[in-house]
């Protein structure tokens, strides 16, 4: 059976995210451990931490993934933002450790016009510094980007360049976002295209580093560099592409959807569509 789920809300108390995932029919899920649009956050209490762990064990919804907040920019040339981003990364690694969340996903940020070379240097320095202050129980997953202006990490070569500069590369893996990859120019529209993209990933980074697939359709076309998610099969990748993805080597990995919240299709319907295309219905 596929491990497939959604990014779910932590509104209320963080353990309620587990209830939401289970209610949707997920057997894996992703959360923010804090409000994603603010730097400040409250500490996790022992009670809510224990409740979260207990529910994950009870319902066997795993692995659980956490995602870094939106404000973080590990490539930022702005001193205040950069240092706050590093501190937030340290905090998130510790919050994941307490919650027994094994993976933390991060975007790689924007160099804001200062160039990719400087962006690479800052990202590597930030991750190395964060790892110095953490125990090593949580793996950081670098997420590929859509290639929007000044963004870092849209190519497999760029992600591998970051990994190669780390002092603890064994603590880093990759989250592969299908919408971002397609917008960045990696074709996923057919079996041959999917197999070719996986081969390129394996040759550049190594398939063993891939721990999560963000399963999202793309509003923009191939190579459009438009970072807009769409419901499964309703975007430019289409049902043919997702059928190929779900019957490829990627099938052995957990899938997390970050599809739109609108009246056209519910989360439950997106989940049903994925299981249908995977041949599980």
Q: Name the catalytic one among 211, 214, 231, 265.
A: 214
Question: For this structure, is 143 an active site residue?
Answer: yes
CA distance 230 to 205: 27
Question: For this structure, is 258 an active site residue?
Answer: yes
Question: For this structure, is 19 an active site residue?
Answer: no
* Phi/psi of residue 8, nearest 5 degrees: -120, 160
Q: Name the catalytic one among 227, 231, 265, 267.
A: 227
Question: For this structure, is 91 an active site residue?
Answer: no
Q: Name the catalytic one among 50, 54, 57, 70.
A: 70
Q: Name the catalytic one among 100, 258, 275, 276.
A: 258
Name which of 165, 148, 141 is nearest 254 in CA terms. 141
Decide: 225 and 184 in contact? Cβ < 8 Å.
yes
Q: Name the catalytic one among 111, 122, 161, 180.
A: 180
Question: For this structure, is 67 an active site residue?
Answer: yes
Q: Name the catalytic one among 15, 91, 94, 177.
A: 177
Q: Name the catalytic one among 3, 20, 95, 107.
A: 107
- What's the burial of 141, exposed, middle or buried (CB within 10 Å: 0-12/13-18/19+)? buried
Instruction: Please list the residues that pair with 66 across neighbouring strands.
Output: 31, 104
- What's the burial of 148, exposed, middle or buried (CB within 10 Å: 0-12/13-18/19+)? middle
Question: For this structure, is 180 an active site residue?
Answer: yes
CA distance 204 to 179: 20
Characterise 95 by phi-psi region: left (phi > 0), alpha (psi -120 to 50), beta (else): alpha
CA distance 189 to 96: 35
Question: For this structure, is 243 an active site residue?
Answer: no
Characterise 12 by phi-psi region: left (phi > 0), alpha (psi -120 to 50), beta (else): left
Q: Name the catalytic one among 67, 95, 161, 231.
A: 67
Q: Name the catalytic one among 91, 94, 143, 217.
A: 143
Q: At what angle do helices 116-132 and 156-164 cross, to 10 degrees?
A: 50
Catalytic residues: 37, 67, 70, 107, 143, 177, 180, 214, 227, 229, 258
């Amino acid at each position: 059976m596929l491990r497939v789920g959604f990014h779910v809300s932590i509104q209320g108390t963080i353990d309620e995210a587990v209830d939401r995932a289970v209610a949707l029919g997920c057997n894996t899920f992703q959360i923010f451990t804090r409000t994603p649009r603010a730097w400040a956050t409250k500490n996790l209490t022992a009670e809510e931490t224990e409740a979260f762990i207990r529910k994950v064990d009870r319902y066997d919804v795993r692995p659980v993934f956490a995602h870094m907040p939106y404000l973080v920019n590990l490539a930022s040339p702005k001193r205040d933002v950069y240092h706050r981003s590093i501190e937030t990364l340290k905090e998130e690694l510790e919050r994941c450790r307490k919650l027994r969340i094994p993976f933390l996903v991060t975007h790689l940020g924007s160099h804001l016009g200062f160039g990719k070379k400087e962006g690479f240097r800052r990202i590597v320095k930030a991750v190395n510094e964060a790892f110095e202050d953490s125990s090593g129980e949580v793996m950081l997953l670098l997420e590929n980007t859509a290639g929007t202006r000044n963004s870092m990490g849209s190519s497999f070569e760029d992600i591998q360049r970051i990994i190669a500069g780390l002092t603890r590369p064994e603590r880093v893996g990759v989250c592969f976002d299908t919408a971002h990859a397609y917008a960045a120019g990696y074709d996923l529209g057919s079996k041959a295209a999917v197999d070719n993209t996986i081969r390129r990933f394996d040759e550049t980074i190594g398939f063993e580093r891939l721990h999560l697939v963000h399963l999202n359709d793309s509003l923009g076309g191939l190579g459009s560099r438009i970072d807009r998610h769409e419901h499964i099969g309703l975007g430019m990748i289409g049902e043919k592409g997702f059928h190929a993805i779900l019957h490829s080597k990627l099938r052995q990995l957990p899938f997390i959807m970050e599809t739109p919240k609108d009246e056209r299709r519910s989360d439950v319907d997106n989940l049903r569509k994925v299981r249908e295309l995977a041949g599980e219905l």
